[in-house]
Amino acid sequence: MFFLVGNKCDLPDTQREVDYEEGEQWAEDYRDEMLDKEGQDIDIEFLEVSAKDGTNITELFNSVGEKIIDKYEVKNWVKQNSMK
């Protein structure tokens, strides 16, 4: 799992280097091209944040935490059940 994070979403569109649509398109374009060690597609999530005003910061950390928990719960379940 990868997160593509665009910062400074608090800026007006005229001052932004990359707009939301461009960031989302970049993530979409590369989703199918990136493969993990097992040859499966790696998901890339795009999220805009603002460190200045805190927009989506909590959402970003929650998403990262959820992905970590999901990954390790599944691996631990497989490991435990394969030993039976």
pLDDT in tens, 22-67: 999 988 887 767 766 666 767 788 999 999 999 999 999 999 988 8
pTM of the model: 0.69
- Name the nearest CA neighbour of 43 among 32, 56, 59, 58: 32
Look at phi and psi of residue 39 and say left if phi exceeds 0, alpha if psi is from -120 to 50, else beta.
Answer: left
Mean pLDDT score, 16-26: 90
Residue 81: pLDDT over 90:
no
- Angstrom distance (rounded) from CA 67 to CA 74: 11
pLDDT recorded at residue 31: 75
pLDDT recorded at residue 58: 96
- Angstrom distance (rounded) from CA 16 to CA 7: 10
Mean pLDDT score, 1-20: 90
pLDDT recorded at residue 76: 66
- Name the nearest CA neighbour of 53 among 10, 7, 17: 10
> What does the radius of gyration of the chain's CA atoms come to, in whole angstroms?
17
Single-letter residue type at 11 = L
